[in-house]
Structures are given as structure tokens and as C-alpha cells.
């Protein structure tokens, strides 16, 4: 694995400053004024305080800007795209701006439990892991629990990751020193899964068996598409982002959707 250097030595051809012990929380935003305040609060309330929250707004047309700027915490770093570019571009920019030894992700409508970062970092350091994820529950647009508990395999190796993107975006964390700068191609959907596919080629992902987050189900969520559109988005993931030949990408897309059904049957529990 390529390692970075806290003194700003280059890796992957890019000069970057890495601050030891700092967690960079990556948060793309677009028209989530209704939710982003609570998402930000869930980061700022972390028991692990050595963090920075890197928000990249993708030209929101609601009052997202006003809400973000109402927070005076110096750990928040706020950027705005010059034009609407999509979540992949926003995530890439936030990761490039990040200075942390660790990278974690939280979408601007999801929530973390206060001990999320502390528990996950302890888990990784005690076991020597550079890539991990944890369990979570689901809530609706009004913060009401939906009674669904989501877990996953104890170890997600490369083979399993290609079957399905088990680690939810709000759950996984990785070491910048182990993986270097991660950037993905511009696809509109599954861009968090594209990050996972890059990470799994260098290290396995380990499950922390604790509920440390809440994933919000929204009626108009981009992740709730019809079957044909889902198949297309999965095809783009494997063909455009991962460089698989068209027939292989189509096979992976179909296989991935099949494992999505199996994942719900095996790892989603009603509580």
C-alpha cells in the first residue's frame, strides 16, 4: 500500500497535507435544507472531537447555504461548486480538500450517533484495520424509526464487494495513509459504491457490530429508482468507473442486483 506523509510529502503524484489523528468527514449537499442542520449537528456532537467537516454544496436552490453558514464551529470547511455537477464531483472535491488521516462519509440527510467516530477509530486501531464499516438503522423524513436494523458480513473482501456494496456510505471509514488519494469518475449514481470498489482492491473491510448511525429514507431519494434505471446505474458503475468490458459490466450489474435482494433477506432485520 502507498502511504502518505504527515509532513506533506506527495503520494499518487499530488502534494497534500495530512494531519495525524484528524478525521475528515465528507459531506456533499444539494437542496437538503430540511435535513442538513441535523446532519451537521450529529458530526459536531461527536465524542471524538479531532475532526473537520468538509461540505461541498452543488449549487443548491433552497436555503442550504443559510443553514450551513449559521454554524460557527471552526471545524466546518464549506465550499460551493460553480455549477451543478453531481455528487461524484462534489465528493471528489471534498476528498481533495480533506486534511485528515482518516476519511469518513455522511450524506447531508443522514445522522450519526455521538460515539460513532470514537468507537470506529478504537475498533480499527486495536485490530490494525485500515478500512471498516458498522451497523445502522433506518428512519423516515420526520426522524421516525422505521424498525429496520442493517448489518452485513463480518469481512467484506474484494469478491464480496463486487457482489454488493455492503458498507453503507454513512458507515465506512478508511486510512488515507494506507490508500492515498481516492478519486472516482463522474457518474450520477452509485458514486459512493465506486469509492468502495477502489478501496477493496487494497484491503478488506471489517464490520464493527454496533449501531452507530441512522439512514434516512426519503420519498424522492435518488437511490429509489425503477428497476431499469437501477440496472443502468449499476452498469455505469462497473463499466465507466471500474473499466469492465460491456458484457462483464452487464453481468456484474445483474449479479449485484440479485445480491441486493439477498442482502435484505439476510442482513436487514425488523426490530
Task: Say how many C-beta atoms besides its own lie within 10 A of residue 226's C-beta.
Answer: 8
* Percent of the chain topping pLDDT 90: 85
Summarize pLDDT for 102-152 with one digit per residue, the tens: 999 999 999 999 999 999 999 999 999 999 999 999 999 999 999 999 999
Say whether pLDDT at 13 is over 80. Answer: no
Q: If you average pLDDT over residues 15-19, what whole number do you get?
A: 78
Domain ranges of the chain: 19-221
- Can you tell me the distance from the alpha carbon of 218 to that of 143, in angstroms, rounded to the nearest whole number? 11
For residue 207, pLDDT beyond 80:
yes
Confidence (pLDDT) at 221: 53
CA–CA separation, 148 and 270 (whole Å): 5
Q: Please state, in angstroms and as integers, the Cα–Cα distance from residue 86 to each residue in 81, 165, 174, following that order.
A: 10, 20, 23
Q: What is the pLDDT of residues 36-77, one digit of tens each?
A: 999 999 999 999 999 999 999 999 999 999 999 999 999 999
Q: What's the confidence (pLDDT) of residue 219?
A: 80
Considering the chain, what is the average pLDDT of its residues? 91
Terminal-residue alpha carbon distance, the chain: 40
For residues 218 and 142, the answer to whether their CB atoms sit within 8 Å is: no
Q: Give the per-residue pLDDT at 108.
A: 97
The counts of H helices and E strands in the chain are 9, 11
Contact 72, 141 (CB under 8 A): no
pLDDT at 5 over 60: no
Return the pLDDT at 8. 33
Domain spanning 19-221: which superfamily? Spore Coat Polysaccharide Biosynthesis Protein SpsA; Chain A (3.90.550.10)
Is residue 193 exposed (0-12), middle (13-18) or buried (19+ Cβ within 10 Å)? buried
Amino acid at each position: 500500500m502507498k502511504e502518505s506523509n504527515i509532513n506533506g510529502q506527495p503520494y499518487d503524484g499530488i502534494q497534500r497535507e495530512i494531519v495525524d489523528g484528524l478525521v475528515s468527514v465528507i459531506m456533499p449537499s444539494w437542496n437538503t435544507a430540511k435535513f442538513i442542520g441535523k446532519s451537521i449537528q450529529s458530526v459536531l456532537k461527536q465524542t471524538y472531537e479531532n475532526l473537520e467537516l468538509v461540505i461541498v454544496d452543488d449549487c443548491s436552490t433552497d436555503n442550504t447555504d443559510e443553514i450551513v453558514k449559521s454554524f460557527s464551529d471552526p471545524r466546518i470547511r464549506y465550499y460551493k461548486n460553480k455549477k451543478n455537477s453531481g455528487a461524484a464531483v462534489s465528493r471528489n472535491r471534498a476528498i481533495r480538500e480533506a486534511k485528515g488521516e482518516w476519511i469518513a462519509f455522511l450524506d447531508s440527510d443522514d445522522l450519526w450517533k455521538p460515539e460513532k467516530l470514537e468507537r470506529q477509530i478504537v475498533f480499527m486501531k486495536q485490530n490494525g484495520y485500515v478500512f471498516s464499516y458498522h451497523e445502522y438503522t433506518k428512519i423516515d423524513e420526520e426522524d421516525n424509526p422505521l424498525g429496520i436494523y442493517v448489518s452485513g458480513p463480518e469481512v467484506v473482501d474484494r469478491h464480496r464487494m463486487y457482489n454488493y456494496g455492503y458498507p453503507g456510505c454513512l458507515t465506512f471509514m478508511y486510512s488515507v495513509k494506507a490508500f492515498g488519494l481516492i478519486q472516482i469518475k463522474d457518474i450520477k449514481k452509485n458514486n459512493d459504491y465506486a469509492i468502495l470498489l477502489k478501496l477493496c482492491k487494497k484491503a478488506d473491510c471489517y464490520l464493527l457490530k454496533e449501531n452507530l448511525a441512522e439512514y434516512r429514507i426519503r420519498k424522492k431519494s435518488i437511490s429509489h429508482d425503477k428497476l431499469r434505471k437501477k440496472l443502468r446505474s449499476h452498469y455505469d458503475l462497473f463499466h465507466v468507473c471500474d473499466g469492465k468490458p460491456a458484457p462483464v459490466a452487464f453481468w456484474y450489474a445483474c449479479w449485484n442486483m440479485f445480491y441486493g435482494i439477498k442482502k435484505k433477506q439476510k442482513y436487514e432485520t425488523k426490530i
